[in-house]
Each structure stands twice: as structure tokens, then as C-alpha cells.
Amino acid sequence: MAKYRRLLSVLLAGTMILSGGLAGCGKQQAAEDNGAQPSEDAAWDTSKDDEIVLTVINNYYTAGQKKAAEEYMKLHPETKVVVDVVSDNDAYMTKMTTAFSEDKNNAPDIVHGNFLVNALTGGSWSVAFDKDYVMDLTSMLDEENPYNDGQKVRDAFEDEDITTMLNLTGGSSIGALPFDKIGVAVFYNKDLFEKEGLEVPETFEEFEKVCEDFRSKGYDSPVSAGTETSWFLNSIADAGYRSIEEQFLVQPGDAIWDENTMKANENFKFDENNLSCDKDVVNSDERILAYKQQNGVNTELNNTAWSTFERIAQYFPQNWVQADTNQVITDFESQKSPMLIQGSYNAGKIVADINMLPDDQKFEWSTFQFPSFETAPEGFSNQLRGLYVPGNTISIVPKDDQDHMERVKDFYKYMYSPDGAKMIFEETLSSGNLIQGPCVIKGVTLDKDLQEKLDGFVVEAAAKDWDLLDGFKRVTTGSMPQFYDLVNRFTEGEITTSEMLDELQPLYEEYNNEAIQAGGYDLDPTTKDTAAQ
């Protein structure tokens, strides 16, 4: 077990470079060493006991979060922190639905924001804010973090990460802050590439040729793939949509315009010589919905994106779009498929699985980013941008008790301080739990030994999320079987791209109409909207 943990620490996320740390400190000493506020200076009544509940999903960071709770309680013994661990994603969604079905004051205090919003509102942050399911963290960003030398909460993040979270929640509020980033890349079996005399592709065209060559050599599914492959489609779509990105941004005069957070939007036009030029711009959900309603899904741009995607997707397994993730990974680990499109959040599982294989079944592997075009389709840019987005995003549930809320915010700040985050990462790794990707908190540094494994996840510039427009899975839950059938028939060559998008249109329109209704949008961005109750 010790050997396994050392391997995991090196290969998955490296040894954390610590500067002191919080573990093992007593209440007063930890406060002095780390700039923490002692309980007597707290913004709550320290003469009263209280309890904070952090509800998390099993395995990812749970050991580190429990350690953080233990150390925080040494600083603030009047506040008990309970780490409530839920078995898996589905169980978490069910728990959120149940917890909020009665008195919200009895719900957990700190949660995975994306799962809460998906469970309660179908993914609408506008509704979540309107119904007071999640706290708007915008004002807290400018509060002092006593666990980060008195700097503001926002100072622990890069500006672009704050903007990303603003984008995810509609452009005017922040419902969660990121703890890490995740990426998607192509995992490849170095031994099989060497055996078959093939080189790692450096262009999209070479990627296509490598897939063809592996199939000709007897590999039925050269690329093992599941729903994570939607991010590959998104990268292709980004090469087209970013040329008209200004249409989807909040503009001066819009009801949600904020000069402080949206200044980068003014007179914006994408610059292909600076692939990160849009990192600070803020999207308008209402403008995107209006575009969708006006243009539908069967557009020239979407036809090109999906047709280009199919050039690689034809080498995926049958029924890939609804494949079980474990089976997708197994096909790569068993060397049935020499390549795998997968997220960084499963890198640890693959490391562990391959290390436990018999010696004669182990193999060397690495990753590469989605390769750019040598000659792009008409209307598209040559350079593909990959996905590198917030992974573990944490929200606070607002309660009526202000004293209680001050404690919740304080523990939240503790986790989001450099020392707190380092401790969570190190404890996670040493306990054999998994992380999802590099930490976004400034000062949490990964060991250089990991770089070779993670190079494929790091991108020059991150693509925007265009699946709202390209239509991947943007259908209601009841229509998902029809969506799966459409995509499978398309990648099997049974229907053309245009035929697939034509059949997708009514499902896409239904989803769009529900989103408009849920957000209370009148599709005039200059007027204030009220989310549906």
C-alpha cells in the first residue's frame, strides 16, 4: 500500500510543495503561524456551539476534506465541522433533491454546486439564485481571508478563473468557486504505437491517418470513447464559433451589464494571434438562447463541426455515446484500443489500474492534446483550443441564521487558502484518494515529476463551452434516448450530418424553450428578467 501511494503521489498529482502547513497545530499556534483569526476575534458568537455540514462525493478529496475539518476545529472548537460523504454522483443528486424538499435551513451548508443546481433546477443557475438555493459569492470575493495573510478571497485565484465562474452562472453572479481544473486529452499506448511503427499525431489529419492505420492493423476501435468525447466536438466547434463570439457577450446597455467585471467585452473581436484573448469576456445566456431560437441547430457551422468530428468518431466503438465509463477505460487498459479520449479526473484510476496489472500486461502510456488542423475546414481556424475548465466547484447554501453563515463562510475561506488547499491535496494523495487535476489556488504547486503525464491536459488557451450551440446532449432528459440513437446512427454512417441535425432540431428546440422559460428570459437582453418560480 505504501508503494502504491508513493506511485500515485508521483504519477497522479506529485508531491505538494508545502510551506509550513496547518496539520498538527494547536489552536493558538496554528493561528499565529498561518495568519488565522483566533476564535475570540471571530465574526460569530464564540460562546455558542454550532455545526457546519460539508457534503461531498466519495473518493475525490474526501480524506483531505476530513483533515481540513479536523484542523479547522482546533482553531475554532466551538464550531463542529461534519464531512458528510455520499457514495456516488447519482446518490449525491438524490440527496440534494431530498435535502431541499423541506426546510432549506436543514440542508447541508457547503456542497458541490454543479450537482446541486443540476438536481434542483435542471442546470439553471438563474433559478438556483432566484430560489436562494446557492449563495452569490460575488461580494465575498472582496472580503478578507484571514487564512491567506489577510488578502482578499479573490487574491487566491487568477482573474480568468473568476471570469470563468461568472460565465458559468449567467454573467452577473458567482454561485461557486473552483478548487481545481480538469482537462480532456487523448491517452495513448506508447508500446502499441512503437510496435505498429506509428508516430504520435501532430495534426488533425495525422490523427485521422493514425486511426485508419490502426484499424487496418486489426484494431476495430482505435479510439476508446464515451461522453467525454463531446469535449473533442466542442474544440472543433470552437474553431468556428469563436469568430462570431462577440454576438454572445454581455454588452453595454444590457440589464446585467457590469462595468467592473465585463469591461473586456467592449468592442471585442477574437484575435487568432492571441488564442487567450477571450479569457476575460463574459457570455450572455440570453443572447445565446436568442441565437439558438433564431438559427436552430442545423446551421452551416454546426454541419461543418459535426462532419469534421465524424472523421475521427467513425473509429470509436459502437454505441460510444452512451458507453459506460469503466468499460471505455477497460478497453484502453486491456490494449483493445490503442487510444482513449478521457478526462484528467480518471488519470489516477488508470495509473492505479495499470500498476496492478501483471507485468506482462503493463504498458507505457502518455497523453497528447487534440491536434490542430493542417488545413482547416472552410470558415474554421486552424488552431484547436482544448478543454481546461473548473472541476470541483463548491457552493455555499444560504441560511437564515447570520451567525451560522459567518462560520460557514470562514471555513470555506479556510479550505480556499493556499495552506488549506495544500493540506487537502497532500492528505488526499497520501490516503490513496484521487484528485481531478491541478489545483487553481495560487501557491499550490505540483511536483515536476508529474508534468509528463499532465502535459496533454494543459492547453495554450482554453476553448469556450459551445455545446449550448452545437447541440451535444442539449435535449431534455426524456429525449435523451432519441439523442443517443441519432448520434449512433450518424457515426455509424447510416444518416448524413444534415439529416442528423434535422432530426435533432425539435429536441434542441424543446430544450431551448424550457431554458428560456426557466430563466424567465424575454430574449431582450436590455430588460431585466425574472426566473420562473
Reading the block at residue 369, the C-alpha cell is 492534446
List pLDDT tens digits, range 242-263: 999 999 999 999 999 998 889 9
439 band by pLDDT with thresholds 50, 70 and 90: confident
- Inform me whether the pLDDT recorded for 21 exceeds 80: no
Q: Which helix (H) or strand (E) holds 151?
A: none
In the prediction, which pLDDT does 260 show? 84
Integer Cα distance of 321 and 229 in angstroms: 8
- Inform me whether the pLDDT recorded for 443 exceeds 60: yes
In the prediction, which pLDDT does 28 show? 41
Domains of the chain: 17-180+391-445 (3.40.190.10), 182-387+457-519 (3.40.190.10)
- Inform me whether the pLDDT recorded for 121 exceeds 60: yes
Rg (alpha carbons) of the chain, rounded to whole number = 24
Find the mean pLDDT for residues 414-431. 90
- Inform me whether the pLDDT recorded for 488 exceeds 60: yes
Reading the block at residue 158, the C-alpha cell is 487568477
36 band by pLDDT with thresholds 50, 70 and 90: very low
Of residues 3 and 443, the one with the higher pLDDT is 443
Integer Cα distance of 167 and 300 in angstroms: 26
Reading the block at residue 90, the C-alpha cell is 447519482
The pTM of this model reads 0.75
- Inform me whether the pLDDT recorded for 40 exceeds 70: no
The answer to whether the beta carbons of residues 48 and 400 sit under 8 Å apart is no
Find the mean pLDDT for residues 466-477. 92
Count other Cβ atoms within 10 Å, centred on residue 108: 22
* Triad 402, 404, 410: Cα angle to 5°: 105
In the prediction, which pLDDT does 452 show? 60
In the prediction, which pLDDT does 252 show? 96
Residue entry with cell 480568468? 160
How far, in whole angstroms, is CA 120 from its chain's centroid?
19
381 band by pLDDT with thresholds 50, 70 and 90: very high
Q: Could you write out the DSSP letters of every residue in 403-436?
A: HHHHHHHHHHHHHTSHHHHHHHHHHHHHTT-B--
Reading the block at residue 34, the C-alpha cell is 498561518
Reading the block at residue 202, the C-alpha cell is 501532430
Provide the mean pLDDT of the chain: 88
- The answer for 389, left when phi > 0, alpha when psi is -120 to 50, beta otherwise, is beta
Q: Is 139 exposed, middle or buried (0-12, 13-18, 19+ CB in 10 A)?
A: exposed
- Inform me whether the pLDDT recorded for 3 exceeds 60: no
In the prediction, which pLDDT does 305 show? 98
In the prediction, which pLDDT does 132 show? 94
The answer to whether the beta carbons of residues 344 and 454 sit under 8 Å apart is yes
Helix axes 230-241, 300-313, angle to 10 degrees: 140
Q: Is 24 exposed, middle or buried (0-12, 13-18, 19+ CB in 10 A)?
A: exposed
In the prediction, which pLDDT does 361 show? 96
In the prediction, which pLDDT does 172 show? 77
In the prediction, which pLDDT does 337 show? 98
372 band by pLDDT with thresholds 50, 70 and 90: very high
Reading the block at residue 127, the C-alpha cell is 433559478
146 band by pLDDT with thresholds 50, 70 and 90: very high
Pick the closest to residue 397 from 128, 84, 171 (CA basis): 128
Residues 6+ apart with CB under 8 A from 221: 315, 316, 317, 331, 336, 337
In the prediction, which pLDDT does 201 show? 98
Integer Cα distance of 228 and 211 in angstroms: 18
In the prediction, which pLDDT does 10 show? 34
* Triad 405, 392, 101: Cα angle to 5°: 55
In the prediction, which pLDDT does 433 show? 74
Residue entry with cell 484571514? 146
In the prediction, which pLDDT does 414 show? 98
Instruction: Tell me the percentage of the chain whose pLDDT exceeds 70.
Output: 90
Instruction: Tell me the percentage of the chain whose pLDDT exceeds 90.
Output: 69
Amino acid in position 125: W
Find the mean pLDDT for residues 284-311. 97
Integer Cα distance of 167 and 519 in angstroms: 15
Residues 6+ apart with CB under 8 A from 359: none
Q: What is the SS3 assignment for 363-402?
A: CCEEEECCCCCCCCCCCCCCCCCECEEECCEEEECCCCCH
- Compute the Cα dihedral for 164, 118, 85, 348 and give only its sign: negative
Is 110 in a helix, a strand, or coil? strand
Q: Could you write out the DSSP letters of every residue in 32-80?
A: HHHTPPPGGG-SS-TTS-EEEEEEEESSBSHHHHHHHHHHHHHH-TTEE
Question: What count of residues does the chain have?
Answer: 533
Integer Cα distance of 249 and 473 in angstroms: 23
- Inform me whether the pLDDT recorded for 324 exceeds 80: yes
- Inform me whether the pLDDT recorded for 430 exceeds 80: no
Q: Specify the range with the lowest mean pLDDT, choosing from 129-133, 325-329, 344-348.
A: 344-348
Phi and psi torsions of 71, nearest 5°: -70, -35
- Inform me whether the pLDDT recorded for 199 exceeds 80: yes
